[in-house]
Amino acid sequence: MDDKRTPPAPALEEVRLPHLTAYRLLVKWQAAGMGAMLPLVMVVQAMLAVGLIVGFGFLIPGIDRETATFLSTGAPTTLLVIIGLVMVPQAVATARNNGSWNYLRSLPVPRPLLLLSDLTVWLAVALPGLVMALLTAWLRFDVPFSFNWPVLVGAAFLTVLMATSVGYAIAVSLPPLLAQLASQVLVFFVLLFSPLTFPAEQLPVWFQQVHSVLPIQRAGDALRAGLVADQYPFEPVGMAILGGWCLAGLAITLRALTRRR
Amino acid sequence: MNAVLQVNGLTKSYGSVVANDGVDLVVNRGEVVGLLGHNGAGKTTLVLQVIGLLMPDAGTIHVDAVDAVADPAAARRRVALMAQAQTPIDGLTPRTAVALAARLRGLDKRRARHEAERIAAELAIEPWLDRRAGPEGTGLSGGVRRLTGFAMATVAPTPLVILDEPTNDVDPARRRRLWELVRRVADRGAGVLLVTHNVSEAERAVDRLVIMDEGRVVAAGTPQQLRGTEDHLRLELIVEPEGDPSRIVPPFACLRDVVVGRRRLLTFPAAEAERAIQWAAASRSRGAFESFALTPTSLEELYLELTESKSQASGPEEVATRG
């Protein structure tokens, strides 16, 4: 092959790249940045899965099969939500502090593509957590899964999208330091005060009402309906609320990406 | 139209702080324009408005005849930026990073690879071409990261290239290569806006200079125009480490008189040269200062004089203007 026979350089004019090409290139760019962190993220996810399923199991003496199933099928949501609500704000806050947020926004690509490529990468980062949690649940409690694949895939996708877009929205709406702090608080809220690994009925009524409009319990219920379909029914309303939070997160993030202060 | 960047009456405030105050600036095709000023002079605010990250309060910006205020996305497609912060290349090798940037600027895969290798050879960074940049600044040195960022901004033809402190962390030999490349980018028809506070480098590398202070343009022209066409000389006096250069009283009238740390920079007509040397030699032998040098005038004195108020607040390198 003759490497010297390269085509002539384009003239000095504006760049107009097909969106799909730009998207692929941005995914490659952002995945590389995440790549170095990926093994660490997977180790953390595995530890969290074990902690949630095995560790929380110790809190319940003589745990019965139904409770074990509830606990085990809530753990995957916890992992997915933590990636989006905790890791994403921290990553975006870092990017805003070190200048890469502004750099990426200066690239000659439509800014929604920046968000889309980043969401793609976070989806890829989050999904192994789902598998790990299910594997742990099966090994520890031999959970009787009965998959409803369309619901499972849809719920997992919407959960990651919701958590990531809301995480993004937090990161772009607050000053970086405050965003990092908020993400730390959210860890406790998701782990301890969200009815993912325990039934909502154990919460005070007013708190149940709060959770009925928040996306976390809705995500947990939707994912559970995909994992043990014969025991937990699928609720379209919950999915719609989850979708609404996705749209709100995406709208806030897109506005921040395109807004000129 | 020859201008690739035309800024008129640009004004931008953050609360009560006026960061840009009626700034006018033109960068023509084939031209390297230096934008000079201290930290906080308003350079970065101007750049952020050009690339559509900040909204001007007033004024116009045209990039390659496109109204950048009305259509920032169209303007951004005509600008390549090397930001002052390190370019985000963690997880990438310089080869991949430069090729990616080239692809995003419209080069096809083969051409992008070819251009990445060419520019790496020109910047002499081939030994690091396949070394991956790690997180937290590991893998590649700051200088190689900086050069990679420069290569990413200049690898593909773009009407306007904005370089913000491109030589930070770069060794002298590669700095020279970088400046040669900047010249070549302009020679192939692009306009280059070089943002810096390094006066001496800017003086050698640019066709025209714009000096900003406290949000305003305080001087503009070619280096020669700014230095002055008249026959002037500069006498530099350096006092002992604990000495005070402002206490020296020269026996002739100075056109410019600036104190920078231990240095006193006096600009005067060449006709006074003989008198100045005699006085300087005698004063030094009396111990009034440690050493002196007589040189042609440079932009440094002008720059320091124009930006005096900012520098006084800027710490150990105290600058004061006298006379």
Nearest-Cα residue of chain A relative to residue B82: A103
- pLDDT for residue B296 is more than 90: no
Count of CA atoms in the C-beta half-sphere (13 A) of B260: 17
- Report which of A142, A41, A156 is spatially closest to residue A91, judged by C-alpha positions: A41
The two most distant CA atoms of chain A are separated, in Å, by 74
Q: Is A20 on the interface with B (CB under 8 A)?
A: no
Nearest-Cα residue of chain A relative to residue B105: A15
Token pair in block for residue A73: 């099928």
Using a CB-CB distance cutoff of 8 angstroms, which residues of chain A are in contact with residue B103? 17, 21, 25
d(CA A100, CA A171): 14
Nearest-Cα residue of chain A relative to residue B50: A106
Q: Is B114 on the interface with A (CB under 8 A)?
A: yes
pLDDT tier at B307, thresholds 50, 70, 90: confident
Pairs across A and B, CB distance < 8 A: 118
pLDDT for position B317:
38
pLDDT for position A167:
92
**Residue B322 or B254, more confident:** B254
Put simply, the answer to whether A102 touches B48 (Cβ < 8 Å) is yes
pLDDT for position B230:
65
Distance from CA of A135 to the nearest CA of B (A): 30
Put simply, the answer to whether B159 touches A12 (Cβ < 8 Å) is yes
pLDDT for position A60:
84
pLDDT for position B318:
38
Backbone angles phi, psi at A184, to 5 degrees: -65, -40
Q: What is the pLDDT of residues A208-243, one digit of tens each?
A: 999 999 999 999 999 999 999 999 999 999 999 999
d(CA A177, CA B294): 52
Of A69-73, B46-50, B214-218, B308-312, give the lowest mean pLDDT range: B308-312
List Cβ neighbours of B245 (8 Å cut-off, separation of 6 or more): B237, B238, B239, B259, B262, B263, B264, B289
Q: What is the pLDDT of residues B30-55, one digit of tens each?
A: 999 999 988 889 999 999 999 999 99
Of A13-27, A127-141, B259-273, B305-319, give the lowest mean pLDDT range: B305-319
Nearest-Cα residue of chain A relative to residue B187: A12
Give the closest of A22, A25, A103 to B85, CB-based: A103
**Residue B303 or A74, more confident:** A74
- pLDDT for residue B322 is more than 80: no
Q: Residue A53 gets which letter from DSSP? A: I
Distance from CA of B76 to the nearest CA of A (A): 5
Are the C-beta atoms of B262 and B243 separated by less than 8 Å? Answer: yes
Residues 54 to 73 of B: which have CB under 8 A from any A CB?
54-55, 64, 66, 72-73
List Cβ neighbours of B59 (8 Å cut-off, separation of 6 or more): B7, B8, B9, B10, B11, B20, B22, B23
Q: What is the pLDDT of residues B141-195, one digit of tens each?
A: 999 999 999 999 999 999 999 999 999 889 989 999 999 999 999 999 999 999 9
**Which contiguous run of DSSP H or E holds residue A111?**
helix A111-141
d(CA B295, CA A75): 75
Q: What is the pLDDT of residues B112-138, one digit of tens each?
A: 999 999 999 999 999 999 999 988 788
pLDDT for position A97:
86
From residue B311, alpha-carbon distances to B187, B264, B303 in Å are 35, 15, 10
- Report which of B106, B135, B37 is spatially closest to residue A12, judged by C-alpha positions: B106
* Proportion of chain B above pLDDT 90, given as a percent: 60
Put simply, the answer to whether B85 touches A33 (Cβ < 8 Å) is no
Could you state, in chain order, the average pLDDT of each consecutive group of 10 residues for chain A (261 residues)?
Answer: 45 77 94 82 86 87 88 92 90 87 91 92 88 90 92 94 92 89 90 90 94 94 94 92 94 86 79
Using a CB-CB distance cutoff of 8 angstroms, which residues of chain A are in contact with residue B77? 14-16, 108
Distance from CA of B2 to the nearest CA of A (A): 13
pLDDT for position A7:
45
Q: What is the ipTM of this complex?
A: 0.83
Residues 246 to 305 of B: which have CB under 8 A from any A CB?
none
- pLDDT for residue B309 is more than 60: no
* Proportion of chain B above pLDDT 70, given as a percent: 94
Backbone angles phi, psi at B191, to 5 degrees: -100, 140
Distance from CA of A66 to the nearest CA of B (A): 44
